[in-house]
Amino acid sequence: MEIVIHGHQVDVTPRLRKSAEYGAQKLADHLNRIELADITFREDGPKKMVDIVVLAPQARLVAKGEGKFHGPALADAVSKLDSQIRKLKSAKKKKITHGAEIRA
């Protein structure tokens, strides 16, 4: 998995970079075969924002997190992506189960 971390008018500290890498790895543990995780840190006045785009063969997932600081904004975005991954997996399981019922 390739992890791209950059800041738009923001200096990304080593600690913030490490947190972003940890969050991307956590997502990779939940969704196999992630090809790319693109994480962008932005700020607009007092509001801090994090955008995460995850590319995998089965889906392209996008989430945005906001907060007073970049750490909570990152956690918010990772949480939203985790929720999307769970829904994706659930829909896939339902499709497989539903297809098996039709054939039987």
Mean pLDDT of 30-48: 91
Q: How far is residue 24's CA from residue 4's CA, in Å, rounded to a whole number?
A: 10
**Which percentage of the chain shows pLDDT scores above 70?**
88
pLDDT tens digits, residue range 47-69? 999 999 999 888 899 999 999 99
Model confidence, pTM: 0.84
Bigger pLDDT: 58 vs 97 = 58
For residue 74, which of 61, 82, 87, 64 has the smallest C-alpha distance? 64
List strands edge to edge, sheet with 59-67: 2-8, 36-44, 47-56, 59-67
Q: What is the pLDDT of residue 102?
A: 47
User: What's the pLDDT at 91?
Assistant: 78
- Name the nearest CA neighbour of 12 among 81, 78, 79, 71: 71
pLDDT reported for residue 95? 64
Q: What's the pLDDT tens digit per position in 12-31?
A: 999 999 999 999 999 988 88
